Amino acid sequence: MLSPLRTFAATLALFMLPAAPAVAQDDGIIRVKSAYSMQQTVERIKQDVAAKGIMYFTEVDQSQLARAAGIKLRPSTLLIFGNPGLGTLFITAKAEAGLDWPVRLLVFQDDAGAVWAAYTDFKWIAARHGIRDRDEQFATATGVVASITSAIRAQ
């Protein structure tokens, strides 16, 4: 009998799409250029998260919050989602890993008007927290977010 995590990973594999390998910059951030508008990008990501049966927690429209404070900010929306059966395994390894879970994916528009999705590389998160015994789980999380961002990736 498969554990809930292995069952989730096996189910997720059915939804995974091949994606170009994402490479984290020195700051641990992976950036994926979107082929869609800001609104379409947010909606496509939310739809893909739902289709995969991943728990969607919330959306924070940072530009709207800035506007309410009298600050001009290009479009910027933070999406928070995850699978508690996977994400909490990182927190059991080190409580402070809860700072990075659930998954946060930022959709933003740059100065040139291009839309991007950005998230923290899971290997970087593991190194940040000194987690060395969850490689399989971090690999699963990496595959999940790569699959999700493949729904918006510019060619």
Give the pLDDT mean for 77-84: 96
Q: With bands split at pLDDT 50, 70 and 90, how would you rate the model's confidence at 2?
A: very low
Show Cβ contacts of residue 55 under 8 Å, excluding neighbours closer than 6 positions: 81, 82, 83, 84, 102
pLDDT at 24: 59
pLDDT tens for residues 122-150? 999 999 999 999 999 989 999 999 999 99
The pLDDT value given to residue 107 = 98
Residue 153 CA to residue 144 CA, distance in Å, equals 14
Domains of the chain plus CATH, in order, are 24-150 (3.30.310.70)
> Between these two residues, 155 and 31, which has the higher pLDDT value?
31
- This prediction's pTM: 0.83
The pLDDT tens digits for 84-108 are 999 898 999 999 999 999 999 999 9
pLDDT tens sequence across 5-34: 554 444 444 344 344 445 556 789 999 999
Residue 31 CA: distances (Å) to CA of 77, 106, 108, 152 = 14, 9, 10, 12
